[in-house]
Structure 1
Amino acid sequence: MKKTPFATKEKLEEIAAKYPTPFHIYNEKGIRENAQKVKDAFSWNKGFREYFAVKATPNPFLMDILHEYGCGADCSSITELMLSDAVGLKGHEIMFSSNDTPDVEFKKAAELGAIINLDDITHIDACLRALGGSLPETMCCRYNPGGVYTLSNGIMDNPGDAKYGMTHDQILEAYKRLKDLGVRHFGLHAFLVSNTVTNDYYPTLSKTLFDLAVEIKEKVGISLDFINLSGGVGIDYKPEDTPNDITIIGEKVHEVYDEVLVPAGLGDVALYTEMGRFMTGPYGALVTRVLHEKKTYKDYIGVDACAANLMRPAMYGAYHHITVMGKEDEACDHTYDVTGSLCENNDKFAIDRKLPKIEIGDLLFIHDTGAHGFSMGYNYNGRLWSSEILLHPDGTFDMIRRAEEPKDYFATFDCFPIWKKLEKEWQ
């Protein structure tokens, strides 16, 4: 089985002539169409907002596109807060969901008017300390019900073993304390699994959170203003996977909403999501050129990208489909390990992958890197981050992040005498 690239070989060669490989490329048309589908799927809920998970693809150009469709930003660090502010997101368009949070980050979130989502009951005191003894009128709490969810692909499917969120008893106590401290508007959040390829995850999670919302109303005496279903809605990395249907997901959540919340007098609760992978994942790719072929105990194809450009396969064996551009219709009758140049044996984009005959100079299109692709990059072995390219619907393209240069890598050495020598080297 195969996947179809969203750009032709000719277009990628045109781009590579201006912006050398490797580079991440994003399909603007696909991102826009998908953002509209998400908006439509939850249009029945008057308060709905998608908070795009900035960590997935922290690029202001893409965040700006998503903002056109009403998307806010889910942030997990002070730099993501700063980026969201720079893009023009304001106040409650920003959700701050972090853990093990420094005081300065609570302070920055409050300064921007972002919704602060507390990961632990002890963070109430931490937030009070950071904010000088008073809390914002709106606060959110993160719930961890424990147990095991069996709807994911194994990236994270055991809430009881996860570091995130509060227990059932802790979250009830947290809302009581927040109420006593003057908080007037409340939200509930949970993130239990990652990359589910099923239309049943959000409805299942909704039932868990909606039941808890009713209990909170009965036992604490507060009505939640919003419930954040967070992320976890995955994509079909493998050609044989059946992709999620966000329209069906929205309809199923609607059914649970009407079944649980409406009879309890909570029919005005706004629903939020904070998807990253689903919003941009399928609409990005890593484009890399073949440099070497090595034959020892196996056949290796060496490319000019490495795990520093796409960590997921090396980090947890994630599958990314590969298309050899120009050979889409040829038989996959060769077996290769596709590797990068890092001094680590797990620097492989594919292991024992059936592909057409590959030749030096071929372009490889590594699919579904639009989320947690570029953003997880790093500089091990002194490898530099690639550029990011946006392919517009009319076939034109723009660089939306330049490739890192040696001067960027060495910039943080400016406090050392060696800086002057290094500066001469790259000039």
Structure 2
Amino acid sequence: MAEKKVPFNLAQVQEITRTYPTPFHIYDEEGIRTNARRLKAAFSWAPEFKEYFAVKATPNPYLLALLKEEGFGADCSSLAELYLAQAAGIGGEEIMFSSNATPANEYQAAVDMGAVINLDDISHIEYLTEHVGMPEMISFRYNPGPLMAGGNDIIGYPEEAKYGLTKEQILQAYPMAKAKGATRFGLHTMVISNELSPDGFVTTAKMMFDLIGEIYEKTGIRMELVDFGGGIGVPYRPEQEAVDLEYVGEGVRRAYEEMIFAKGLAPLKITMECGRMITGPYGYLVATALHKKEIYKNYVGLDACMANLMRPALYGSYHHITVLGKEGLPCDHVYDVTGSLCENNDKFAVDRELPEINRGDVVVIHDAGAHGHAMGFNYNGKLRSAELLLRPDHSVKLIRRAETLADHFATLDFPGAALDMSSILKK
């Protein structure tokens, strides 16, 4: 069983909280960079490899700029994500724009930036052409339906997912796009999420390589790019093992040699759009225990809530918990670890065995570096927390300040003088 560790100790966090009070998210720069380099190394054999980091996982331009330094692009699915990528210095075909139910102005922004447009439906060919025009480079998202067995709570079963084109539609779409002016083509899929079995990714690659061959045989259209999507999971539980990236890379290499190179379909650019596995294990939600409650169960109430990390409430997900300064003590107490929302599912852990927790203890929730702060919200008037970057020299940089009440009320235009916001905000 792997030991879940944090890259800081209690004394360091106590020093950080002199400036930045809990709760906050903190990201380990060194861990993220090392992980990014490992993924690139696993695919160093490829004629060309590009990881488009899934901006939705951790949409902070400081982190996007950090990953750009490691050679990553950006996978975007909205106007805001496009602008975040641009702010981080990522542009052109370093951006993959994969979206669904997309308005014309977002397609226009992506085209203006020179991004690769990845269409989610065959009907979007006409929509894109009518409102924006057909770009030179176009990609389509493939949904294999029931051919891809299995599913999970995040993405479900492919045949029940709202994403992508069927094989029949794929074979129709490329000639249609070519007739409207496209001259370069890509193929994309995303059929699994938070998957820890390395064989699943090799199987996905083989499925895509096979489809690329079929597209060429039936339409004469060659693929320039294939995007396997993301989906590489995080070992949230101590007993789980991280995906062996080297195994995946080697398995995909063998399939490439047999199914692409040997058939004269090379060179083919290999791309991915991992988000969770890049930053997830290297982000932590740091909170303080405010209250203890003993009724039918024992509860510990934190100053964080599901507005800071909603995965446990949304998916029933496990996130490991460390009580700083008590790492060596026995886990001989059982708690529900909660936030303060008026929702009973506002719980980070249920029936979790932990050391005795006292008021004021610092609690660290692991693997919160993706789909954590990004999924925040303001229900109950809760304010989203700060984001910090832990530098390799153990200094800390503020990369997003905490929200304030002024931020929360900024979009209100309440008539009359019945509610004097200025006086409230001064309190």
Q: The residue matched to 1:203 in structure 2 has which SS?
A: helix
Would you say the 8 A contact 1:321–1:366 is kept in 2? yes
1:29 aligns with 2:18: no
Partner secondary structure for residue 290 of structure 1: strand
State the match for 1:49 in structure 2: 50
Equivalences for 1:36-185 in 2 at 5 Å?
36-131=37-132, 134-147=133-146, 149=148, 154-185=153-184
Contact 2:153-2:315 at 8 Å conserved across structures? no
How big is the shift at 1:148? 6.5
Superposition deviation, residue 46 in structure 1: 2.4
Tell me by how many angstroms 1:420 deviates: 7.4
Structure 2 alignment gaps of length 5 or more = none
Distance 1:418 1:138, change over 3 A: farther
- Once residues 370 and 229 of structure 2 are traced to their aligned partners in structure 1, the CA distance between those partners, rounded to angstroms, is 15
1:183-221 Cα distance to aligned partner (Å, 9 max, x none): 000000000011001211221100110000000001111
- Kept in 2: contact 1:388–1:399 (CA 8 A): yes
Structure 2 matches for 1:177-326, cutoff 5 A? 177-326=176-325
Per-residue deviation, 1:48: 0.7
How far off its partner does 1:38 sit? Answer: 1.1
Q: Is the 8 A contact 1:390 1:398 kept in 2?
A: yes
| Contact 2:138 2:182 (C-alpha < 8 Å) held by counterparts | yes
* One-letter code aligned to 2:42: A
Cα contact 1:284–1:371 (8 A) shared by 2: yes
- Structure 2 CA distance for partners of 1:355 and 1:170, relative to 1, 3 Å: same
The aligned length equals 425
Question: d(CA) in 1 for partners of 2:414 and 2:75?
Answer: 34
Aligned sequence identity (%): 52
What one-letter code is carried by the residue in structure 2 that aligns with 1:254?
Answer: R
Q: How many Å separate the matches in 1 of 2:228 and 2:420?
A: 52
What one-letter code is carried by the residue in structure 2 that aligns with 1:60? P
Query: How far did 1:152 drift?
Result: 6.1
In structure 2, do the counterparts of structure 1 residues 418 and 378 end up closer, same or farther at CA, with 3 Å as the change threshold? farther
Q: For residue 393 of structure 1, what is the aligned residue in structure 2?
A: 392
Cross-structure match for 1:327: 326
Alpha-carbon separation, structure 2, partners of 1:415 and 1:84: 34
Look up the SS of the partner of 1:17 in the other structure: coil
Deviations 1:157-192 (A, max 9, x none): 410110000000011111110111110000000000
What secondary structure does 1:413 align onto?
coil
Deviation at 1:47, TM superposition (A): 1.6
- In 2: Cα distance, 1:31 partner to 1:104 partner: 33
For residue 54 of structure 2, what is the amino acid of its counterpart? A
Superposed CA deviations along residues 8-28 of structure 1, whole A, max 9, x for unmatched, are: 111111111210000000000
SS in 2 for 1:70: coil
Measure, in 2, the Cα distance between the counterparts of 1:144 and 1:70: 28
Aligned counterparts, 1:350-389, within 5 A:
350-389=349-388
8 Å CA contact 1:139, 1:183 repeated in 2: yes
Assess, with a 3 A threshold, how the Cα gap between structure 1 residues 143 and 172 changes in structure 2: closer, same or farther.
same
- The alignment's TM-score, normalised by the length of structure 2, stands at 0.97
Residues 419 and 220 of structure 1: is their aligned pair in 2 closer, same or farther, counting only changes over 3 Å?
Answer: farther
Shift of 1:417: 4.2
Give the superposition deviation at 1:61. Answer: 0.7
Contact kept? 1:144, 1:167, Cα under 8 Å: yes
Counterpart amino acid of 1:172?
L
Q: Which residue of 2 aligns with 1:11?
A: 12
User: Given residue 357 of structure 1, which amino acid in structure 2 is its aligned partner?
Assistant: E
Structure 2 CA distance for aligned equivalents of residues 258 and 416 of structure 1: 68
SS at match of 1:291: strand
Q: Give the Cα separation in 2 of the matches to 1:357 and 1:271.
A: 49
Equivalent pair of 1:144/1:159 in contact (CA under 8 Å): yes
Q: 1:286-334 CA distances to partner (integer Å, 9 max, x unpaired)?
A: 0000000000000000000000000100111011000011111111111
Query: 1:251 and 1:412, CA in 2 relative to 1: closer, same or farther beyond 3 A?
Result: same
Task: Give the distance between the partners of 2:372 and 2:418, measured in 1 at CA.
Answer: 31
Tell me, in whole angstroms, the C-alpha distance in 2 between the residues paired with 1:23 and 1:353: 22
2:145 counterpart SS class: coil
Q: State the 1:262 CA deviation.
A: 1.1
Deviation at 1:86, TM superposition (A): 1.4
TM-score normalised over the length of structure 1 = 0.97
SS class of match (2:314): helix
Corresponding letter in the other structure for 1:36: R
Q: Displaced runs of 4+ in structure 1, greater than 6 A?
A: none
The change in CA–CA distance for 1:387 and 1:8 in structure 2 (over 3 A counts) is same
Letter of the 1:177 counterpart? M
**Shift of residue 149 of structure 1?**
4.4
RMSD of aligned alpha carbons = 1.4
Tell me, yes or no, if the aligned pair for 1:148 and 1:158 is still in contact at 8 Å. Answer: no
